[in-house]
């Protein structure tokens, strides 16, 4: 698949120019909210005040994405029940995102927690097996090996542990940013793992600019208690397994 970031740069005319300008203004508001989260120094990402500010950030981020896509005249094909991207090994998850996801599961879906932990562990074992096999085969640059490893896991067609039997996300409104930024402009059938190496499947990362990304990195570091592990499955196990600690506060998402 081909992937790239939707950019505000380049010529725009008429409504597209207006929409691109709106996206820049929205991004400036996003930066303000993130700076506020950093200066507030909440004890935990489960603090109700943190959760409220983060919901404001998410609303602005979704607005920003809409404005960028409109400025580029792009219409995503993603929709409810389309879970093609949900078979990926989810990396680059922020510490505070996992805390909020785990708290949501404990509060609203306690009957699902044991099954989710078990599924995460099975996926971790599968990934470790792929890594061993790839290491035994040898060859390739480290970054190339990571890409091949992630593609190999995707080819296993293992559903995300957070998907329901109806192919809906249990934590959709608090899902990680890394799940939110990926868009496809192809028919869902073209997002199948079998098409992963084809070059005519247009996808795009609709992500934040560096000024906001750097603030998110700082926020991640402040609440990280997982030794900078950013894999969704392994950190969820650390949060949800019996005897695991939590962020230690009242309230939550």
pLDDT at 238: 95
Per-residue burial over 39-57, b if 16 or more Cβ lie within 10 Å, else e, is eeebebbbbeebbebbebb
Residue 221 to residue 96: CA distance in whole angstroms: 9
User: Tens of pLDDT along the chain (253 residues)?
Assistant: 333 345 333 333 345 566 689 999 999 999 999 999 999 989 999 999 999 999 999 999 999 999 999 988 888 888 777 888 899 999 999 999 999 999 999 999 999 999 999 999 999 999 999 999 887 766 666 657 888 899 899 999 999 999 998 989 999 999 999 999 988 887 777 777 777 666 666 667 889 999 999 999 999 999 999 999 999 999 999 999 887 655 554 455 6
């Amino acid at each position: 698949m081909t992937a790239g970031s939707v950019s505000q740069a380049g010529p725009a005319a008429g409504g597209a120019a207006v929409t691109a300008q709106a996206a820049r203004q929205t991004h400036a508001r996003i930066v303000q909210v993130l700076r506020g989260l950093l200066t507030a120094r909440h004890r935990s990402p489960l603090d109700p005040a943190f959760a409220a500010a983060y919901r404001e950030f998410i609303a602005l981020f979704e607005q920003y994405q809409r404005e960028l896509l409109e400025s580029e005249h792009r219409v995503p094909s993603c929709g409810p029940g389309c879970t093609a991207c949900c078979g990926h090994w989810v990396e680059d998850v922020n510490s505070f995102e996992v805390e909020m996801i785990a708290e949501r599961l404990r509060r609203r879906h306690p009957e699902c927690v044991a099954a989710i932990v078990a599924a995460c562990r099975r996926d971790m074992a599968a990934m470790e097996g792929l890594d061993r096999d790839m290491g035994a085969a040898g060859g390739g640059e480290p970054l190339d090996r990571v890409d091949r490893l992630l593609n190999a896991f995707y080819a296993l067609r293992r559903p995300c542990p957070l998907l329901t039997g109806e192919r809906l996300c249990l934590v959709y409104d608090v899902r990680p940013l890394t799940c939110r930024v990926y868009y496809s402009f192809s028919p869902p059938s073209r997002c199948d793992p079998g098409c992963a190496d084809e070059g005519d499947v247009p996808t795009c990362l609709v992500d934040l600019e560096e000024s906001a990304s750097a603030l998110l990195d700082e926020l991640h570091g402040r609440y990280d208690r997982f030794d900078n592990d950013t894999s969704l499955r392994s950190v969820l196990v650390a949060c949800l397994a019996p005897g695991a600690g939590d962020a230690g506060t009242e309230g939550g998402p």
